[in-house]
Amino acid sequence: MSEGDLLHVVASDNIGPTRRSLGLALIWGSPAVLALVALAQVLQVWGGYDFGFSNWRPTLYAYVLYAICLCWGQVLVKGEQGKRILFVLPAALFVVSLTVFPLLFGLVIAFSNWNLSSPDGRQFNGVANLVQMWNDPFYWNALTNMVWYVLAILPEYVVAFALALMLNAEIRGRKFFRVAFLMPLMLSPVAVSWMIGKSMMETRFGPLANLMKHLGWQEPSFFSSPWIAKSTIMLMDAWTFIPFMMIMILAGLQAIPKELQEAARVDGATGWRAFWEVTFPLMLPVSITSVLIRLIFKLKLADIVINVTSGGPGGATDTVTSFIFREYRDRSNVGYGTMLAMVYLVIIIVVMTLLMKAAERYMKSSY
C-alpha cells in the first residue's frame, strides 16, 4: 500500500471549542468511569468492601461505554479525520479486547496451578506447568500427530488440484459436479463424525465396512490400530476440506488467460507437458495460498477427533486441541491446559512465520 491517501478528501473542519472539549471529555471521562467501576469491583473482591456486585458485568458495561465514547470522541475532536478512523476503530477495538486481553490473561493462567473443580483457587506456580509439559509424553505425542496430520495436506492438495482440473475441463453438468463436490465442506464436522465415523464405518453393517469386506479386508475395524485410526481421521478430515482447496485452485485455474494454454499447444506442448510447464508454474501462487490456509485450518483440527475417537487408541489420533479439550473436561485443569495451548501458539507462530517468509522469498526469486 502506497503512502498518502488513496481517496483524496478536502474537508473544511471547523471544530468549535465546545465540541472539542466535549469530545475530549468523552475520551478521557469514560476511561475514568471505567477505572472507577473496576476499582470498586477490585475493592469488593480483595479489599473487603461491599458494593453489591454479583459479577464483573459492571466493568464490562463500563468498558463498552468507554469503547463507544472513544469512537464518538474521535469524530468530535478530529472531525473528518475522526470519521475515517471510525471505519477501522470499532473492528480494531473489538479484536483487541477479545484477543489481546484474553491472551494476556491466559499468560497469567498459564503460569499458575488452577483446577476449576478444586476450592483452592488459583495459585502461582512459576514454571511448574512447563516442567510438567516437558515430561508429558501425551502432549509430545499430540504434537507428533499434528506433524503427520499436516503432512497429509500434500495428498489432499494433489486430489484437490486434480478435481479442480476436471471441473475446469470441457464437461457437461459442471454446475452439478461443482455443487456435489462442494457439499462435504458445508457439513458440520460433528455430523460428519457420526455419519462417517460412527455409522458408515460401523464394523458390522456400515457400508464402508461392507465395501472393505468385499475388497478382502476380513474384519474391517477402522479405529483399533494406531496407524489405521490415524489415517481414517486424516481421510475424514480430507473429505471435508478437499472442496475448500479445490475451489481456491479452481478460481486460480479460471483466472489463467486461455491464450497462454493455447500458445503452449501451438508450440507443441501436449497435455502432460503443458500442465507441468505452463499451468502448474502459473498456479504456484494460488497453490501456496491455498495450502497455507488449509494448514491454518488443519492446525485447528479437533471436532472429528473429539467425537469419533476422543484421541484413542492410546492417543494415536490425538491432536493438540483435542488433547487440551480432554485435559480440561476430564480434569478441569485450566492452568496446565492454558500453558499447553500457549506453547502450541508459539510453535504455530514460529512455523507459520518461517513458512510465509520462505514462500515469499521463493515467489520473489522465481518471478
Partner 1 sequence: MTTQIFRDSAADRTFRAKWWTGRVVIYGLLIFWAIVALFPIYWTMSTSFKMAPDVMKGSLVPWWDFTPKWLGWKSLGLSPSTIFEPSTVRGEFLRRFYNSAVISVTSSVLAVALGSLAAYGLSRFSYKFLWMKNADISFFFLSQLILPPVVLALPFLVLYKELALLDTQVGLILLYTLSVLPIVIWIMRDQFAGIPTELEEAAMVDGQSIWGAYLTIILPIALPGMVAALILSLVLTWNEYFFAALLTSTYANTLPVMVASQTGSQGISWWSMAALSFAAILPLIIIGIGLERFIIKGMAAGAVK
Hey, which residues between 160 and 199 contact partner 1 (CB under 8 A)? 162-163, 166, 169, 171, 175-196, 198-199
Task: Using the rule CB under 8 A, give the single segment among 13-21, 150-158, 216-224, 289-297 that binds partner 1.
Answer: 289-297
Interactions with partner 1, residue window 90-119 (CB under 8 A):
90-92, 94-95, 98-99, 102-103, 105-106, 109, 116
| 272 in contact with partner 1 (CB under 8 A) | no
DSSP 44-98: IIII-------SSHHHHHHHHHHHHHHHHHHHHHHTHHHHHHHHHHHHHHHHIII
Task: Tell me the residue type at 64.
Answer: V
CB of 318 to partner 1, least distance (A): 13
Size of the site for partner 1 (CB under 8 A): 105
Which residue in 19, 20, 78, 83 binds partner 1 (CB under 8 A)? Answer: 83
Q: Is 306 in the site for partner 1 (CB under 8 A)?
A: yes
What does the chain come to in residues?
Answer: 367
Asked if 164 contacts 249 with a C-beta cutoff of 8 angstroms, the reply is yes
Is the Cβ of residue 121 or residue 314 nearer to partner 1 in the bound state? 121
Near partner 1 by CB under 8 A: residue from 35, 131, 260, 296: 296
Residue 158 or 349: which CB sits closer to partner 1? 349
**Does residue 278 interact with partner 1 by CB under 8 A?**
no
For every residue of 191-248, DSSP letters joined together read: HHIIIIIIIIT-TTT-HHHHHHHHTT-SS--SSSSHHHHHHHHHHHHHHHHHHHHHHH
Pick out residues in 308-347 that bind partner 1 (CB under 8 A). Answer: 320-321, 324-325, 328, 334, 337-338, 341-342, 344-345
> How buried is residue 166: exposed, middle or buried, by Cβ count under 10 Å (0-12/13-18/19+)?
middle
